[in-house]
Amino acid sequence: MAPSDSATAFVPGHVTAAFSVHRREDPERTGSRGAGVATSHGVTTTVAPAAETTVILDGTDTSIEPVVRVLDALGVTARVTCETPLPIGAGFGVSGAAALGAAFAADEAFGVGRSENDLITVAHVAEVESGTGLGDVVAQARGGVPIRLDPGAPAHGRLDGVPATGRVEYLSFGDLSTAEVIEGDASALSAAGERALASLRERPTPDRLIEAGRTFARDADVLVDEVRAVLDAVPGAAMAMLGRSVFAFGTALTDAGYDAAACEIDHAGVRRR
């Protein structure tokens, strides 16, 4: 493929139901184990070659550190434009999606010629080094309802999935700092995450994912008041890690009277537009 003027990629959002933190010397081997849902509401990222790198998110000049790191790693500078219907910093993996989309779009715009695993690795490392996430990128690359069996980039991290399709609802009350939780002492959280993952692998269904996520949120002590209230009212809802947000399959949130956003499970994962 010849280099083109600009290129665009779409990356699904991703909500994590439960996770454990795994830090190694090597950022490619650093990551999380856990499970979540890739959503058809995602991030569309366009990369256009430019003299210096700038990032525009939903029309506003901003800085998304993992995006800048991705372009640096590929040795290019570009104007990066991201559009998303998702709330920012609220547990939907917007930073991971922007980083992964920037990698795929830049590969095309500059004719870099990397494989998908290489581009996923570049985005995963950028996200880990920025402290913005540990497992969204590999999940967003796969799509579906991904189970992260191992932490890390594709060469190290095996994935599985829960067979499921259909509607996903979500509701957000705003952001939580991911870095604060995942950079600190995560041993109690990780122990709860490992139990949740074991429970899900015993019976990999959407119902069990929600159940494991609810138990994890309580055991890992990450519940905030607004989220706790929704989980108390809606047995089919789980918390989106790590944001003041909840998600559910089907119509569980709207049935309970919440004004929730609705989308679908995204099976395709990252792809060029």
Give me the residues that bind a copy of itself (CB under 8 A), please: 1, 104, 107-108, 113-117, 119, 143-144, 147, 154-155, 158, 160-165, 201, 203-207, 267-269, 271-273
Q: How far is CA 113 from CA 67, 80, 110, in A?
A: 19, 19, 9
State both tokens at 195: 């139990």
In the bound state with a copy of itself, the residue whose beta carbon lies nearer, of 7 and 186, is: 7
Nearer to a copy of itself, 90 or 123 (CB): 123
Residue 23, token pair as written in the block = 């830090």
Quick check: 209 and 163 in contact, CB under 8 A?
no
Smallest gap from residue 58 Cβ to a copy of itself (A) = 24
Q: Supply the minimum distance, in Å, between the C-beta of residue 54 and a copy of itself.
A: 24
Nearest distance in Å: CB 267, a copy of itself = 4
Nearest to 37 by CA among 62, 56, 55, 18: 18
Nearer CB in complex with a copy of itself: 85/161: 161
Token code pair at residue 21:
């933190």
For residue 37, give both structure tokens. Answer: 């849902």
Which of 65, 116 has the CB closer to a copy of itself? 116
Which of 155/233 has CB closer to a copy of itself? 155
Q: CB 76 → a copy of itself: shortest distance, Å?
A: 15
Q: How far is the CB of 232 from a copy of itself (least distance, A)?
A: 24
H-only helix segments in 84-165 = 94-109, 116-130, 136-142
Of residues 157, 163, 161, the one with CA closest to residue 137: 157
